[in-house]
Amino acid sequence: MKIKSVSFVLCQEELAKPIPLSCGILSHRNFGLVRVETAGGVVGWGETSVNFPPWTYRERKATIEDGLAPLIIGEDARDIRRLRLQMHMATLAYTRMWAEGAIAQAISGIEMALWDALGQETGRSLSDLLGGSFHSDFDAYATGFRADDPAAGARDMVAKGYRTVKMRIGFDDDVDIAKAFALREAVGDTVNVMIDANQAFTYPRARKMMKALQPLSLYWLEEPVLNDDFSALSKLREAFPDFPIAWGENAFSTEQYNRVIEDGLASYVMPDPCRCGGIGAAIEMAEIARKGGIPVSAHHYGSDVGFAAMLHFMATCPLIDHVLRDEAPVKLRNDLVVEDLSPESGRVALPAGPGLGINVDMAVVERSRIEI
- 228 domain residue, yes or no: yes
8 Å CB contact between 59 and 30: no
Q: Note whether residue 104 is domain-resident.
A: yes
Kindly report the CATH number assigned to the domain that includes residue 88: 3.30.390.10
Same domain, yes or no: 161 and 57: no
Residues 112 and 211 in one domain: no
Q: Is residue 76 domain-shared with residue 138, that is, in the same domain?
A: no
* Number of separate domains in the chain: 2
Q: Is the peptide bond between 18 and the residue preceding it cis, with omega within 30 degrees of 0?
A: no
Question: What pLDDT is stored for residue 23 in this prediction?
Answer: 85
Same domain, 159 and 220: yes
Q: Examine residue 356 and state whether it is found in any structural domain, yes or no.
A: no
CA–CA separation, 304 and 289 (whole Å) = 25
Tell me, yes or no, whether 66 and 90 share the same domain: yes
pTM of full prediction above 0.95:
yes
Q: Are residues 150 and 74 in the same domain?
A: no
Whether residue 261 is contained in a domain is answered as yes
In a domain, 259, yes or no: yes
Say if residue 322 is in the same domain as residue 223.
Answer: yes
Residue 238: what pLDDT? 98
pLDDT of residue 346: 97
**Domain match, 101 and 165 both:** no
Residue 9, in any domain of the structure: yes
- Per the structure, the complete domain to which residue 272 belongs is given by 128-349
Q: 236 and 334 share a domain?
A: yes
Residues 330 and 310 in one domain: yes
Domain-located, residue 354: no
Over its length of 372 residues, how does the chain's per-residue pLDDT go in tens digits?
999 999 999 999 999 989 888 888 899 999 999 999 999 999 999 999 999 988 999 999 999 999 999 999 999 999 999 999 999 999 999 999 989 999 999 999 999 999 999 999 999 999 999 999 999 999 999 999 999 999 999 999 999 999 999 999 999 999 999 999 999 999 999 999 999 999 999 999 999 999 999 999 999 999 999 999 999 999 999 999 999 999 999 999 999 999 999 999 999 999 999 999 999 999 999 999 999 999 999 999 999 999 999 999 999 999 999 999 999 999 999 999 999 999 999 999 999 999 999 999 999 999 999 999
Q: Looking at the chain, which runs of residues are DSSP E strands?
A: 3-21, 24-38, 43-48, 137-143, 164-168, 192-196, 220-222, 245-247, 268-269, 323-326, 347-349
Any domain includes 357: no
Separation between Cα atoms, residue 315 and residue 348, nearest integer Å: 12
Per the document, the length of the chain is 372
Which CATH number goes with the domain that contains 288?
Answer: 3.20.20.120
Same domain, 44 and 135: no
In this prediction, residue 24 carries a pLDDT of: 86
In a shared domain, residues 88 and 135: no
| DSSP three-state, residue 28 | strand
Who contacts 35 (Cβ-Cβ below 8 Å, separation ≥6)?
Answer: 5, 6, 7, 8, 9, 43, 44, 45, 113
> Is 11 in contact with 302 (CB distance < 8 Å)?
no
